[in-house]
C-alpha cells in the first residue's frame, strides 16, 4: 500500500559491517506468496568481497544444500583479522576465516539463513537442534506469548530440548497442547522432551532472550525422559 520494499540484510561490526543482502536473483523474481517470502526471509547472499562457508565441528566444509547447517565463517578484505589485544583469537584461522558464532545453512543459489547461535544450539546424540526453529514454531500456538528453547543435560543423548513458555494473559495451555501443536512440524527427535511454564523470560538490554540466565535458572532441571 505504501510502495515500500523491505530487504533483509545481515552483518557484523567485524565485517565493516555488511555480510549479506537479500535481493531476489533472476530465478526468483517470478515467485509469489509464501514461496517468495521463504526466499525474502533468508539473510541473503554475500556481496563482492565477502566469502562465506559453513563447517562442522572439525572445520570440514559442509554442502550448500539449504538444509545442512554448521558454523558460519566469513572472510574478505573488509573482515577483521584480529581483535585488539589478541582477545578471541580462536575465532580467526590462518587462512583468514572468521568464525561469526552463528549457525547457518546456505542453499545452492548462495542464500544464507541463520538458524541459531553456536552457543545456544542443542547438541543431541551428535546432531544439532536449532533453538530458533523450535521457538518460532512454539509461538505459533494461539495461547503462547513467548517461548525459549534450551539444552538440558541428558545421560544418553548429551542434551535434549526443554521448551520454556510464557502463556498469553488468561490462557492456560498444557504441555500436551504445546507438544501436539508442534508434532509433525519438526523432526521427531527435535521435539522438546518437556515444557516448563514461567511468568516471564529474561531478556538482554537489546531485547534478545537471555539464554545464559535461563540455563542458570534450569541448571538442576531433570527431564522426565532421563
Report the CATH number at residue 67.
2.30.38.10
Instruction: Report the predicted TM-score, pTM, of the whole model to 2 decimal places.
Output: 0.87
pLDDT tens, position by position, 109-138: 999 999 999 999 999 999 999 999 999 999
Shared domain check, 188 and 153: yes
Q: Name the pLDDT band for 15 (thresholds 50, 70, 90).
A: very high
If you average pLDDT over every residue of the chain, what do you get?
96
Locate 23 and state its grid cell.
Answer: 535481493
Cα distances (angstroms) measured from residue 86 to each of 2, 83, 91, 200: 48, 5, 11, 38
Number of domains within the chain: 2
- Residue 49 pLDDT > 80, yes or no? yes
pLDDT tens, position by position, 93-102: 999 999 999 9
CA distance 23 to 25: 6
CB 119 within 8 A of CB 151: no
Shared domain check, 200 and 157: yes
Shared domain check, 182 and 128: yes
Shared domain check, 135 and 60: no
Shared domain check, 100 and 155: no
Shared domain check, 106 and 132: no
Q: What is the CATH number of the domain that holds 156?
A: 3.30.300.30
Task: Over range 172-194, report the average pLDDT.
Answer: 98
Q: What is the DSSP-derived secondary structure letter of residue 25?
A: P
Range of the domain at 23: 8-115
Element (H, E) at 104: strand 98-106
Q: Name the pLDDT band for 5 (thresholds 50, 70, 90).
A: confident
pLDDT tens, position by position, 57-93: 999 999 999 999 999 999 999 999 999 999 999 999 9
Amino acid at each position: 500500500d505504501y510502495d515500500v520494499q523491505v530487504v533483509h540484510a545481515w552483518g557484523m561490526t567485524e565485517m565493516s559491517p555488511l555480510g549479506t543482502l537479500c535481493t531476489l536473483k533472476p530465478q526468483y523474481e517470478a515467485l509469489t506468496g509464501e514461496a517468495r517470502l521463504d526466499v525474502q526471509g533468508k539473510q541473503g547472499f554475500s556481496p563482492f568481497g565477502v566469502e562465506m562457508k559453513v563447517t562442522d565441528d572439525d572445520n570440514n566444509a559442509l554442502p550448500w544444500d539449504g538444509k545442512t547447517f554448521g558454523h558460519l565463517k566469513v572472510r574478505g578484505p573488509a573482515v577483521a583479522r584480529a581483535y585488539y589485544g589478541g582477545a578471541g583469537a580462536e575465532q580467526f584461522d590462518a587462512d583468514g576465516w572468521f568464525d561469526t558464532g552463528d549457525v547457518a545453512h546456505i542453499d545452492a543459489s548462495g542464500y544464507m539463513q541463520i538458524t541459531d547461535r553456536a552457543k545456544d544450539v542443542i547438541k543431541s546424540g551428535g546432531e544439532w537442534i536449532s533453538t530458533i526453529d523450535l521457538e518460532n514454531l512454539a509461538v505459533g500456538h494461539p495461547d503462547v506469548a513467548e517461548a525459549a528453547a534450551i539444552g538440558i543435560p541428558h545421560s544418553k543423548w548429551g542434551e535434549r530440548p526443554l521448551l520454556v513458555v510464557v502463556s498469553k494473559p488468561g490462557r492456560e495451555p498444557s504441555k500436551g497442547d504445546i507438544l501436539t501443536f508442534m508434532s509433525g512440524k519438526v523432526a521427531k527427535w527435535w521435539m522438546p522432551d518437556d515444557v516448563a511454564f514461567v511468568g516471564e523470560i529474561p531478556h538482554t538490554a537489546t531485547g534478545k532472550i537471555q539464554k545464559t540466565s535461563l540455563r542458570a535458572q534450569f541448571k538442576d532441571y531433570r527431564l522426565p525422559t532421563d
